[in-house]
Amino acid sequence: MKQSLKTDTDKCSKATNGLKKISDAITYIKTDQNDLSFIAYQRASEMVSHADNILKELTVHRSTVVTFKSNPSIDETLSGFRCLGDIKCAEKQLENNKNTILECSNKSLYDIRSASDNVTCEIRGIWELPGGEILIADNNNKRVKLLDTQYKVVTHTDCWSHPWDMCSISPTEVAVTVGVYARTNTVQFLIVNNRQIVKGRELKIIHNCHGIAHFNGSLFITSLTALYQYTLAGQLVKKIYEDTSRNFTVHKCAVCTDGSKLYVTNLKDHKLLTLSMDGTVLSCLKDRVLRSPTGIHVTETGQLIVCGRGSHNVVQVNGEGGVMTLASKTDGLHEPEAVYFSACTGRIIVGHTSDKILVINTN
């Protein structure tokens, strides 16, 4: 077929060149040269007729049938394979932007008081559900509340004592630390279904239960003087870190996005500690801007946000230890204890001692 196409191409090229030459020749013939004009006309007619015949011939031979004959050895080779390959699905990892500063714009306060609340709200834990609803732990009123996407209270469930913190276990389940200092302490699992909060199982903990974080099937729980690792079934794995110099030295905790480090707030000494997973202190941050650090949150892209209860602010801490204030007392904050960044809405939600939460839009 390749040779046939080459032959046809050569014929067309030859005919085209001939027509061009005779066209050029006719252009240079003077009007009074009748003999030459007649000869040129005759020659041009012959060449046009020849070109027409070539085109007709090409059309006639257009019905070329192309067939493919497979190599039989291919079937024999493929029959030896059980499959052509594997398909693997994995969630796309977000780029780690821990040093990127969160640029804040509009800041608004939303009322989260329930009609049956007895005292001023004090929000100690915040978490977002996949649908955009928000769970908040109201320590003073001993209940966990469910907010809709407009931050209005939809429902609540009462706890047997004060809820101190919460973390996500699955898209619809959270774990809440509940207890009384130096007395009974538990981890209460809550499930959200059809805008209702359902109580699940409960773990009894032998020490104070305060801050809590979850990573890869492990619970990390603070006792105000130590940090422990537990399984989801409630089995103690180990004591990771301890500081018994005074109370509230191990206040709340968080795990970095890759699970390689832990962050702990020391409320009494105004410190933010970075620990290895075996409890080694990697760094200690103490800055006059951040006083009595409490609630701590790591965003999906690695940014670290910390509440300053004593400084009445929320700050972002970068990888080099730099501190940037995101919100302060002038924005309505009073003793903030919980902070959460919503990757879906790009908003920072802050809980404090108030009947309102602070919601900050970021660019």
User: Which has the closest alpha carbon to 308: 289, 293, 328?
Assistant: 293
In a domain, 267, yes or no: yes
Q: Which pLDDT does position 192 carry in this prediction? A: 96
Q: Which pLDDT does position 345 carry in this prediction? A: 93
In a domain, 94, yes or no: no
Say yes or no: 37 and 162 in one domain: no
Say yes or no: 162 and 264 in one domain: yes
Say yes or no: 8 and 122 in one domain: no
Q: Which pLDDT does position 31 carry in this prediction? A: 64
Say yes or no: 33 and 114 in one domain: no
Say yes or no: 167 and 276 in one domain: yes
pLDDT tens for the chain, residues 1 to 363: 667 777 778 878 887 887 777 777 777 775 667 777 777 777 777 777 777 777 777 665 555 677 888 888 887 777 777 777 777 655 544 455 677 889 999 999 999 999 999 999 999 999 999 999 999 999 999 999 999 999 999 999 999 999 999 999 999 999 999 998 768 899 999 999 999 999 999 999 999 999 999 999 999 999 999 999 999 999 999 999 999 999 999 999 999 999 999 999 999 999 999 999 999 999 999 999 999 999 999 999 999 999 999 999 999 999 888 899 999 999 999 999 999 999 999 999 999 999 999 999 998
- What does the alpha-carbon distance between residue 239 and residue 213 come to, in Å, rounded to a whole number? 15
In a domain, 65, yes or no: no
Say yes or no: 55 and 108 in one domain: no
Residue 13: C-alpha distances to residues 21, 22, 27, 43, 159 (Å)? 12, 15, 21, 18, 92
In a domain, 78, yes or no: no
User: Which has the closest alpha carbon to 341: 89, 94, 91?
Assistant: 94
In a domain, 196, yes or no: yes
Say yes or no: 25 and 129 in one domain: no
Q: Which pLDDT does position 15 carry in this prediction? A: 77
- What does the alpha-carbon distance between residue 205 and residue 175 come to, in Å, rounded to a whole number? 13
The boundaries of the domain holding residue 163 are: 104-362
In a domain, 74, yes or no: no
Say yes or no: 54 and 114 in one domain: no
Say yes or no: 45 and 137 in one domain: no
Q: Which pLDDT does position 235 carry in this prediction? A: 96
Which CATH number fits the domain that encloses residue 310?
Answer: 2.120.10.30
Tokens of 206: 């032998």
- What does the alpha-carbon distance between residue 265 and residue 211 come to, in Å, rounded to a whole number? 10
Say yes or no: 142 and 235 in one domain: yes
Q: Which pLDDT does position 90 carry in this prediction? A: 55
Q: How many domains does the chain fold into? A: 2
Residue 306: C-alpha distances to residues 123, 226, 244 (Å)? 15, 19, 23
Q: For residue 1, what is the enclosing H or E element?
A: none
- What does the alpha-carbon distance between residue 264 and residue 277 come to, in Å, rounded to a whole number? 12
